[in-house]
Structure 1
Amino acid sequence: MTRAELQCPTCNVAVEIPAIELGPGITVGGFAIEKLISVGGMGKLFLARQLSMGRLVALKILPPQFCIDRDNVERFLNEVRVAAQLEHPNVVSSYEAGVDEGVHYLAMQYIEGRTLADRIEQEGALPEREVMRVGRKVASALAYGWGQHQILHRDVKPENILLDQAGEPRLADMGISKSMALSVGHTDVGTVMGTPNFMSPEQINDLSSADTRADMFSLGATLYHALTGKIPFDGKTVIQVLQHMAVESLPDPRVAQPTISRNGADLLRVMMARKPESRHQTWAALMEDMDRVLKKFPIKAAVPTGHASLIGGPGSKRATVTVRGHTAPGAPAAVGPDQAGKHEAAIPGLPTHPVPHKKMALPVVPLAIAAMVIVGLLMAGTLFRQYQRRQADEAVVRHAQERVEALEAQLAQAVAYARSNPTNYEAAKAKLIALEEQLAGTPLEGLAEDELGRIAEARSHAQDAAWRTLQGRADLLFADGKGEESLALLRHYDGEWADAMGSLRAEYLGVLSAGIRRQEEAEASRQAAELLALQSRFDELIADVAAGLLAGRCAEVSAQVLAADSGGVFSDTAALAHILAVSNVEDAILDTFKQSVGQRVSVGLKSGPENLRIRNVEESVVVADRQMNGGATVIIRFGVRDLSAKDRYVRVGMDGTKEGLIRQGLIAAWSGAYSSAATCFERVDSPLATSLYLAANAHKVAEPTPRRQAESGREEVLAKAEYNRMLESIQFVPTGGSSERDADAILRLGLSVLVKQRLRNQARAFKKSYGTTTFARTHAPVLAAMLTDEQTVPTDY
C-alpha cells in the first residue's frame, strides 16, 4: 500500500496518509472485499465477507483524513463500542471497528435491499400510510438509542434508512455520526457534516447543542421528502441550501400531494418547527401522534403557525431573512430574522470584506442613471413575478375552497342519511366510506371519521342488544328443560345480525351444550339413586316376605306385597305375580281338587290315606264321597289343614312351575325339614327363592345335631355352589391363583352401585349361612372384597 501526504490546515504540517486502491480481492482487517456499494462524504461502503464467520457485512472504509486527529479516532472507536451494544429490530448492528495499515474501517450488518432514498428516486412520492409506518419504526429506533444509551444520531436522512426485502426499515450509522462530524469539521472549512437539507437550524448553528429534537426535525424532513418526492430546500450548493432554509418555508405537502391528510401535514409542521421547544418534547409524544395519524385521528401536539414552522400553508409567502455569522468552528452560519436583507451570507473560508480593486475613470452621472434604470427594471420584473405567483397561489386556494364547499354538502347529505336511517348501518357506512377518500387532506376529514365512528358505535350497541335478546330467549328455554330447543334457536337464528353474531352463537352453543350434558348427567345420577333406593326397598321387602312365608303367614305376605305394589316398589309385574303365586299355597292345593272334580283320587289325610271321589270345592272346603264297606257312600268334607304334609307337598308342586317348587320348599320348611326346603329353593332362580334359600340355611342350625353332622359335607358343597353363583352374577372368572389375587381383581372391576349393593347383600347372607364352613374361611379375602365400598362406578352405567 502506498502513502500520500496531506497538508494539515491547522498546523501546516505534512501528514502521511494512506492512499490505498481498495476493491474486490483486497482484505482489510479480516474482511474480504467483494464489491463497491456506494461512495459518500463519510467514505466508501463495500460489500465484504467476514473471513472468521463466513458472513456478509457492509464494510465502511473511512476517509484518509480521518486518522489525522488521534483523539477523534479514539472517540470514534469508543462510539462504535457503544453502538455495538444496540439491539433493536430497526437499527443496523455494528460488528467491529479498527485500523489495518492506516485504513480505518467499520464492519456493520449487511441489509439486502435498498435505501429509502433509492425507493423515493425510483417510485416518487410514497403513500402516506407507508411513510408513517416506516417513520414510526425509525422513531422507535431513535427513542431506543436515546432512552437506553443516551445516543443521538445527528444524521437522519433517507440515505441512512435501509429497507430490507420485506420493506422493514433499519437505521444506519447509529451512534457514530458525532466523531465523523468532528473529523470532517477539522478538514473542510465552510462545510457541515451530513446533508443540510435534513438538518435542524440549531444543528447547523452548533452541532454540540443538538438534542433529540434535532433528530425529530431530521426525521420530519425525511418524511416530507418521502411524502412529496421533493428534497427539502433543494439547491446546487450547500450555501444555496442554507440560504433557502433561512429565507423560505417549504410548501404545504398537500400542494404536491393532495392525498396527504390534514393530520399528516400537521405532524410534519410540528416535527419541522424552527425552534426545538415547538416540537415534540419526547419520543413517546411523537410516536403517539404518529399512531394517531395512522388511525386517522388529529394529533395532540400544538401545531405551530406562520413563521414558527419551516412548513407553511398553501400560498404561504417567503421570509426575508439572511444567514448570520458562525457560532462554532466548522459549522455554517445560523439564520435569524434580525439580519433580513442586510448582507449576503458569510461562509467561513470565504472573504467577508470588500475585495480591493483598481478604480476606473467612468462618467458618474450616466452610470448612475443607467444603474437606476437597471434596478428599476429588475424591481419591476421581480414585482411582476411576485404578482404572478400570488395570483397562482390565490387560484389554488380558491379552487381548494370550492372543492371543500362541495365536499361539505356531500358530507352533510351522507350524515343526514345516516341519522335518519339508524337501522340501515351498511348503507350509511358505504356512503361515508365512498366519500372518505375525497375528504382526505381537507378540514372535513375529521368529521367524516367522527360520523363513521358514531355509526360503528351505534352498530355495536344494536348488535349487543340483539345478542342479549337472543341469549335471553335461549336461557329461558334452557331453564324450562328445553335444552334442544335452545340449541336449535341459536343454530337456526336468521335475524339481522346472524352473520355478525356467528362467533358469539357458536361459543354459546358450546356453553349450553355443556349445560345440557350436565343436566343429563344429573338426571342419570338422580335416576340411579332412585333405582338404588327402590332396589333397596325391594330387597328389604323380599327378605320380609321370605321370613313371613317361612313362618306360614301367607295371607299376611300377600297383603304386604299388594301394599308395596301400590307404593311403586315393583317395577316388574312378573315379580309381583311370582310372589303372589308362591304365597297362595292353600289356593294351589285346592286347585288340584278342583281339577279332579268327578274323579276318584287318592288323598293323604292326617288320619290316613283314602280313595275319594271329589264332588266339588266349596270355598276352602273339599266335598268328596267316601265308599264304605258294603257299598254305601258317605259324603265327607275336609280342608287343607286336614291333609298330611306329604300330600300337601305333592299337590303344591303338581303344576310343574317354579312357584310350585318354592311352595314345596315352604311345605318342607313348615315341617322342619329345612335342608329339603333349601334344596327346593336352590333350584329356582329368583330373588325370593334366593332369600328363602338363605333363610332356610340359617334355620338348619336348629336341626338335630346328628342330622347336622350328616349334612356337613353337603354344606361345604352348597357353600361352594353359592360362592360360584355370586361370582357368576358379576361375571367374574377366578384368576386361578390365591384368594388375595381374586379379591384384588374384584376390587378393580368398577361395579355399578346397584350391582355392588346386590353383591354385598349376597355376601352378607353367605357369611350368615356358610360363615362357619371351611370353604368360607378359605375364601375370606374374596368375601371381604365383596363387602367393601371401594369399587368405582363405570361411566357407561
Structure 2
Amino acid sequence: MSTQRGPILSVGGHGVLRSMELREPLGRGTMGTVYLARVHSSAPPGTPSKIAVRVLSSRFHRDPAFMSRFYADATAAGRLQHPNLVRVLDVAEVSGRHCLAMELVEGETLDKLLARAGKLAEPSLIAIGLAVGGALRTAWLQQRLLHHNIRTQNIFMAAGNVVKLADIGLARSVTNEAGHPLPHAPVSDPHYTAPELTMGARAQDCQGDIYALGATLYHLAAGRKPFVEHTGPKVFLQQREGWLPWVKELNPALSPGFCAIVEKMLGRDPQDRYIGYEALVADLKTLSEGGRPSAAVIEPGRSVMTRSKQPPPTAAPPVATPKKRPPTTRPPAIAAARVEAAEKPAKSHHHPAWMTTPVVIGAWVMVFVLIILCILAYAHRTFKQRQLDEEAFYSVHQRQIEDAADAAAVRKLADADDYAKRNPNDVAGIVDRYERVGEFYFSTTAGHTAQEEAKKWRAKLPKQ
C-alpha cells in the first residue's frame, strides 16, 4: 500500500504512515478494518517497528462532517500522552483511504480475560478503574475528548499487566461542535450506556463515560453484563427504569467501599454520579491504600444498582429485655361501662339517602370512566415509548447489524464456493446452496454474487 503524493495530514508531523507496509488484518469493526503494519527504517526515530493501522471504511468518505470530526479527534488524541492510553501515532489519507496509525498492543482484551477468569478480584478491579479513570481524565482535561464506547472489548491487558484503553482517537470531541449529531459517529453498547443517553441525547460532559466505566467494573466484578438478560431496545428501557442486583450479592468477596464506588458511578441521574474524574480516582486510590472512600455517597434508590440486601452490620446492637407489668384489677366503674356498652343494640349501617341519588351515582361512574381512561392512556404511552426505543436502537445500531450481515454472507458464500470446488458434479446441490445464500442475504454484496453463481450453475442442469 503506497502513500499518495502531496501533503499528508499527520499528528505532530510524524508521518508514520509514509513509512509503513500493511500486513495481515487483525480485526474488522464498525469503523473499518485494523491491520498489522511494519514500519520501514525511514520512519521517524522512536517509531515502533510494528504498529496497528485502522483503514476507515469507504462509506464514511461521503460524509464531510464526519471526516472533519474524525481528523479533529484523531489529531487531538495524538497530542495525549498517558501510559494507559493506546497512543495515536498518525492520521492521513493513504492511496485514497483514510488511515489511523496506533500503538500495537500485545495482550488481550478484558472480555477475553473475563471469559477465562469468570470474575475479577477486587485488587484487579481497582487497578483497572484507576488506569482507565486516569486515562479518561487526561483525555477530558487536556483535549475535551469523550470516549463514548467504554466496554470490556476496548480495554486491553498488555504485557506486565499494564491496562490500555483503546479507540480514544475515534471519540467525538465536544469542542467545536455545531450542535448536530453526526450519523457515522462510533456507537456504544447499550449495556454500558448511561440512562440519559438512551434516547439519543448527545453527551455534553464526562458523566456518560463515568457511567460506562462503572458498568464495565460491574461487569468485571459480577461476571455478567448489566441487564444481560435483556437484548435490543429492552436494554434502553432497563437503563432508565430497571434495577441491577447489588454487586456484592454476585461477588461476596467485594468490600463495601468498592460497592459504594460502583453504586455512585451508576447513578441514574448524572448529578448523582461523581462530578468528575478527580473524585473518582481519589476514592479508588484511597480504597487501594486500605482507606474508606469519602465521595462515594448517594441516596438510596438513586442508583441503577439497588441494595436489595443490605450488608450486615459489624456488631449487632444489644437487645433490650422488656419488663413484665404486674397484673392490675380493672376498676368497677370501667367494667360497668363496658357491660353497659355491650348490652346496647348495634347501630344500623344503612347508607344515607343522599348517597343513592342519581347525581352521586353519576359522579361515581365518571370517576370509574376517568380511571379506565388513565389506564388506557398510560398503556398507550408505554407502547409508544417502546416503539421509540426500538426505532432508536435500530437507528443507532444499523451499521453494526449491516456489518454482521455482510460478514455472515461472506462466510456462507465461501462455504458454497468450497462445496462447488469439492463437488463439481453435484450441480443441483451447488445451485441449492447458492440460492439459499442469495435469498437469505439478498441485501448484501455477497448475496448478489451468490445469486449470479446460482444462475450460472442452474444453466448446467439437465433439461427436463
2:190 maps to which residue? 196
| Equivalent-residue separation in structure 1 for 2:24 and 2:85 (angstroms) | 23
> Aligned partners of 1:302, 1:133: CA distance in 2, in Å?
17
Q: Distance in 1 between matches of 2:203 and 2:124?
A: 32
Residue equivalent to 2:103: 109
User: What is the one-letter code of the residue matched to 1:291?
Assistant: K
Cα displacement (A) at 1:346: 2.5
Q: Distance in 2 between matches of 1:130 and 1:196?
A: 25
Distance 1:340 1:268 in 2: 34
Q: State the partner residue of 1:41.
A: 30
**Alignment map for 1:18-57 (pairs within 5 Å):** 30-51=19-40, 52-53=42-43, 55-57=49-51
Cα separation, partners in 2 of 1:56 and 1:236, compared to 1, 3 Å:
farther
Three-state SS of the structure 1 residue aligned to 2:102 is strand
Equivalent residue, structure 1, for 2:258: 264
CA distance in 2, matches of 1:285, 1:265: 16
The partner residue of 2:382 within 319, 334, 343 is 343
Q: Which stretch shows the higher mean deviation, 294-303 or 215-224?
A: 294-303
One-letter code aligned to 2:388: I
- Aligned mates of 1:300, 1:261 — CA distance in 2: 14
Bigger radius of gyration among the two? 1
C-alpha change, 1:252 and 1:91, in structure 2 (3 Å) is same
Give 1:87's aligned amino acid.
Q
| Aligned counterparts of 2:288 and 2:236: Cα–Cα separation in 1 | 32
Q: Deviations over 1:511-570 (max 9, x none)?
A: xxxxxxxxxxxxxxxxxxxxxxxxxxxxxxxxxxxxxxxxxxxxxxxxxxxxxxxxxxxx
- Superposed CA RMSD in Å reads 3.2
Percent identity of equivalent pairs:
27
User: Any stretches of 5+ residues in structure 2 without a counterpart?
Assistant: 2-16, 311-376, 393-464
Task: Answer with 120-129 or 173-182: which moved more.
Answer: 173-182
CA pair 247-168 structure 1, distance change in 2 beyond 3 A = same
Cα 1:308/1:236, change in 2 over 3 Å: closer
Whether contact under 8 Å (1:90, 1:141) holds in the other structure is yes
Matching of residue 255 in structure 1 with residue 249 in structure 2: yes
The residue matched to 1:296 in structure 2 has which SS? coil
Letter in 2 for 1:43: G
* Rounded Cα–Cα distance in structure 1 between residues aligned with 2:111 and 2:390: 31
Distance 1:302-1:256 versus aligned 2 partners, 3 A rule: closer
Partner of 1:307: 301
> 2:221 maps to what in 1?
227
CA positional deviation for 1:348: 7.4
The structure-2 alpha-carbon separation of the partners of 1:118 and 1:341, relative to structure 1 and needing over 3 Å to count, comes to: farther
The aligned residue for residue 149 of structure 2 is: 155
The residue number in structure 2 matching 1:93 is 87
Asked whether the equivalents of residues 127 and 227 of structure 1 are also in contact (C-alpha less than 8 Å), the reply is: yes
| TM-score in terms of structure 1 length | 0.35
How far 1:265 moved relative to its partner?
0.6
For the 8 Å contact 1:76–1:179, the answer to whether it is kept is no
Per the TM alignment, residue 232 of structure 1 is displaced from its structure 2 partner at its CA by: 1.1
Q: Any idea what SS the aligned residue of 1:140 has?
A: helix
Q: 3-state SS of the aligned residue for 1:59?
A: strand
Name the SS of the counterpart of 2:388 in structure 1. coil
Query: Distance between the aligned counterparts of 1:252 and 1:349, measured in 2?
Result: 28
Please say if 1:279 is aligned against 2:320. Answer: no
Of 142, 161, 186, the residue aligned with 2:183 is: 186
Cα distance in 2 for residues equivalent to 1:307 and 1:30: 56
Displacement, 1:34?
Answer: 2.4
With structure 2 as the length reference, what TM-score do the two structures score?
0.59
Counting matched residue pairs gives 302
Q: Which one of the candidate residues 159, 162, 167 is aligned to 1:165?
A: 159
Q: 2-side partners of 1:339 and 1:183: how far apart?
A: 32
Q: Given residue 301 of structure 2, which amino acid in structure 1 is its aligned partner?
A: H
**Contact persistence 1:156–1:215 (CA under 8 A):** yes
CA distance in 1, matches of 2:28, 2:292: 41
The residue number in structure 2 matching 1:378 is none
> 1:272 touches 1:310 (CA, 8 Å); kept in 2?
yes
- Is 1:210 aligned with 2:199? no
Q: Which amino acid is 1:162 matched to?
A: F
- Asked which structure has the greater RCO (Cα within 8 Å, sep 6+), the reply is 2
Q: Are the equivalent residues in 1 in contact too, given 2:268–2:303 (CA < 8 A)?
A: yes
Decide whether aligned partners of structure 1 residues 150 and 187 sit closer, same or farther in structure 2, where only a CA change above 3 A counts. closer
**Letter paired with 2:20:** F
Take 1:229 and 1:312, find their aligned partners in 2: how far apart are those partners? 17
Deviation at 1:245, TM superposition (A): 1.9
Cα offset for 1:78? Answer: 1.7
In structure 1, how many angstroms separate the alpha carbons of the residues matched to 2:151 and 2:32? Answer: 17
The AA in structure 2 aligned to 1:186 is: P
Say whether the 8 Å CA contact 1:66–1:183 is kept in structure 2.
Answer: no
CA apart distance, 1:71: 2.4
- In the other structure, the counterpart of 2:127 is 133
In structure 2, how many angstroms separate the alpha carbons of the residues matched to 1:61 and 1:32?
13
Mark the CA change 1:134 to 1:200 in structure 2 (over 3 Å): closer, same or farther: same
**TM-fit CA distance, 1:249:** 1.0
Rounded Cα–Cα distance in structure 2 between residues aligned with 1:214 and 1:290: 19
Rounded Cα–Cα distance in structure 1 between residues aligned with 2:165 and 2:69: 21
Query: In 2, distance between residues paired with 1:100 and 1:216?
Result: 35
Q: Report the 3-state secondary structure (helix = DSSP H, G, I; strand = E; otherwise coil) of the residue aligned with 2:210.
A: helix
8 A contact 1:216–1:271 mirrored in 2: yes
Flag the structure with higher helix content: 1
What code does the residue aligned with 2:382 have?
A: H
Deviations 1:79-127 (A, max 9, x none): 2111111111111110111223442221100111111222112211010
2: CA distance, partners of 1:308 / 1:90: 31
C-alpha distance after superposition, 1:186-218 (max 9, x if no partner) = 269xxx812121121223334533311221111
